[in-house]
Structure formats: C-alpha cells, structure tokens
C-alpha cells in the first residue's frame, strides 16, 4: 500500500536512502535548506523534482532529503521521523528540504519560476514547523548558523553553513523572501511580527484619527445646537446659545441627537456620546458663520 512518501513507495535497488529509527537522536526542530544541483526544467511542466527523486532512488552513494520541491511540485521523500542522508553533520536530528535547482543560478531563472520555487520551499518549511508544533517544539522562522544547527538549535540553516565542503543553497538564495513566505504559509498574523516602534506608530495614528473624528462631531454638534436639526420628518429648532438650561435640554435630546449624528457622520454612538459630553462640558466650538457661547 502506498504511503505517499516517495522513498518508502519506490525501491532503492543499490543504496537505501533513508533510515529508521533515527540514530541516537530525535527531531530537534533544525531544518537544513539545500539545492539539489540538478538542471532546472524551465520549459513546460517542471520535471526537475521528479527526475531528481528518481536519481536519488537509483544512486549508489548516499544523498537524499525529506522534501524535494520544484516550481510545480512538492515531493515528500520520507517522513520527518525517518533519517535521510542530507547533511552528514546534522542527520540524526535534522530535516532536509531541497529545491531542484542549482545554487549558483538563482539569478538566471525567470522571476515567475523563482517565485514558485520559493513558495513551494516555504510550504514545505511551514509543514515542518506545524509538525514540530505537535511535538511541543516551536521552530522560529529565522536563519540559524551552522554551529547552531550542529548544536541542535531549532530554525533554518543553509547546508553551506552546516555541511562540509558545501555551499548550497548559494549566496543568491533570498533568505528574506524565503522566511517571509514561510510566515505567509503559516498564516502568521502581521501583528505578531510588528516591532514595538511599529505598534506605537499605528496606535498614535489611530488615536489621531479618532480625535479628528471627535473634533468633527463637536463642530457638527455645535451647528446642530445653534441651527436645529431634523430627525425623520420632525424639525427641531436651534437653541441660539449654550447656557445651563440649554445644556439640560441638549442632554435630554442626547439619544435623538446621537442617532442623527451617527447616521450623518458614520461614527459609532460611543464616539458621538464622547463628543457630546466633551462639547457640553468644554463648550462647543463651531466653525464658519455659526458661533456659540463658551460655557
């Protein structure tokens, strides 16, 4: 019965390309990023991952990954709990994700092709992050050093940093894009990744917007108090000036005024009420020809 994992479903006639159980270690959340160094298939359906999977299956030396992607496919080669021969320095605790392209040629691939490869790598990485979550390990969406990968720290490491005599996925690999796409694949909220300074800026902006809205209502309320207003078909007269008696009347009319203002301004009744309160306690300021006496 097919398992859905390429290396489990297809025989390796010369050299077994996975091992189970892992040798003396368990998954640490460390993930090594590779390129498979095969020719990228830029024409028609992308067969690079499929061809590389078959190459791995039939090769004599050791070399395999957990997940292999190209621009239009993601091939799960072996379960994460199995060991693959992806990095001699970290194999017992790490997982390997590889793109079926060449490390030195990222800049030569068409943009649309590259984007699809990054998206598939990110989808594979997100799948690993979600899996580790079920094991109680949070894999931070960040790049780690070779020393950290060898020390079993969770995160994403270039094979070029962890391995011996390797340089994949290459200096042309865009780590910022890859990690951004992993976050997007995980559906990580933007709020989660905002800096304290950005949060402060957004809050300040929101407060300023609300204050501007409240000021508008105060002006509008002032005009209403002076010139009158209409609710439904009923026209209510204005009150000429704000004095103690009129303040009481204005308070009695709050509910109607609030509804009318809310409809007219699109603000919430809470915002209107706050503005009405402010207008009555501080005196309403009115712009244009209308003036209103300060209380």
CB of 166 to Zn ion, least distance (A): 5
Question: Rounded to an integer, what distance in angstroms lies between the CA atom of residue 185 and that of residue 162?
Answer: 25
Mention every residue, 6+ apart, whose C-beta is less than 8 A from residue 102.
Answer: 35, 37, 38, 39, 40, 170
Pick the binder of Zn ion from 159, 179, 181, 253 (CB under 5 A): 159
> What is the DSSP code (8-state) at residue 145?
-
The answer to whether the beta carbons of residues 169 and 110 sit under 8 Å apart is no
Residue 256: other Cβ atoms inside 10 A: 14
Measured from the CB atom, is 168 or 219 closer to Zn ion? 168
CB of 59 to Zn ion, least distance (A): 14
Count of positions on this chain that bind Zn ion (CB under 5 A): 3
Measured from the CB atom, is 104 or 254 closer to Zn ion? 104
**CB under 5 A: which stretch of 40-48, 103-111, 167-175, 244-252 binds Zn ion?**
167-175
CB of 110 to Zn ion, least distance (A): 23
> What is the DSSP code (8-state) at residue 172?
T
Q: Rule CB under 5 A: is residue 168 a binding residue for Zn ion?
A: yes
173 token code pair: 């690999």
Distances (CA, A) of 116 to 75, 111, 157: 14, 9, 21
**CB under 5 A: which stretch of 32-40, 179-187, 195-203, 239-247 binds Zn ion?**
32-40
Measured from the CB atom, is 119 or 166 closer to Zn ion? 166
**CB under 5 A: which stretch of 30-38, 46-54, 218-226, 286-294 binds Zn ion?**
30-38
Measured from the CB atom, is 50 or 168 closer to Zn ion? 168
Q: Rule CB under 5 A: is residue 34 a binding residue for Zn ion?
A: yes
Q: How many residues does the chain have?
A: 295
Residues in contact with Zn ion, shown as a per-residue x/- string from 120 to 139 under the rule CB under 5 A: --------------------
**CB under 5 A: which stretch of 10-18, 42-50, 160-168, 254-262 binds Zn ion?**
160-168
Is beta strand 83-84 parallel, antiparallel or unpaired with respect to 18-19?
Answer: antiparallel
Distance of CA 200 to the CA centre of its chain: 20
CB of 86 to Zn ion, least distance (A): 7
Q: Rule CB under 5 A: is residue 66 a binding residue for Zn ion?
A: no
Question: Rounded to an integer, what distance in angstroms lies between the CA atom of residue 225 and that of residue 215?
Answer: 15
The answer to whether the beta carbons of residues 157 and 163 sit under 8 Å apart is no
Q: Is the peptide bond before 193 cis (omega within 30 degrees of 0)?
A: no
**CB under 5 A: which stretch of 40-48, 100-108, 159-167, 190-198 binds Zn ion?**
159-167
CB of 151 to Zn ion, least distance (A): 19
Measured from the CB atom, is 127 or 168 closer to Zn ion? 168
CB of 266 to Zn ion, least distance (A): 57
Half-sphere exposure of 33 (CA within 13 A, CB side): 30
The answer to whether the beta carbons of residues 228 and 278 sit under 8 Å apart is no
Measured from the CB atom, is 59 or 216 closer to Zn ion? 59
Question: Rounded to an integer, what distance in angstroms lies between the CA atom of residue 84 and that of residue 24?
Answer: 14
Residues that bind Zn ion (CB under 5 A): 34, 159, 168
């Amino acid at each position: 019965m097919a398992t859905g994992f390429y290396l489990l479903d297809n025989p390796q006639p010369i050299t077994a390309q996975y091992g189970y159980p892992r040798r003396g270690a368990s998954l640490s959340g460390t993930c090594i990023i590779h390129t498979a160094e095969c020719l990228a298939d830029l024409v028609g359906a992308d067969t690079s991952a499929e061809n590389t999977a078959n190459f791995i299956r039939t090769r004599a030396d050791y070399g395999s990954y957990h997940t292999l992607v190209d621009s239009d496919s993601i091939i799960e080669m072996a379960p994460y709990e199995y060991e693959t021969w992806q990095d001699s320095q970290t194999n017992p605790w790490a997982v390997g994700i590889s793109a079926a392209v060449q490390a030195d040629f990222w800049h030569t691939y068409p943009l649309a092709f590259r984007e699809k490869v990054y998206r598939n790598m990110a989808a594979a990485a997100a799948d690993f992050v979600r899996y580790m979550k079920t094991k109680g390990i949070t894999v931070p969406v960040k790049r780690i050093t070779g020393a950290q990968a060898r020390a079993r720290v969770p995160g994403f490491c270039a094979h070029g940093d962890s391995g011996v005599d390797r340089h994949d996925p290459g200096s042309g690999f865009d780590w910022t894009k890859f990690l951004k796409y992993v976050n997007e694949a995980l559906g990580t909220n933007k709020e989660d990744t905002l800096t304290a300074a950005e949060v402060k800026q957004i809050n300040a902006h929101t407060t300023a917007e609300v204050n501007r809205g409240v000021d508008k209502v105060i002006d509008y309320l002032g005009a209403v108090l002076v010139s009158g207003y209409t609710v439904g078909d009923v026209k209510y007269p204005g009150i000429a000036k704000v004095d103690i008696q009129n303040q009481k009347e204005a308070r009695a009319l709050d509910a109607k005024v609030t509804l009318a203002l809310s409809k007219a301004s699109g603000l919430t009744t809470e915002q209107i009420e706050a503005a009405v309160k402010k207008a009555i306690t501080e005196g309403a300021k009115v712009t244009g020809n209308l003036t209103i006496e300060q209380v």
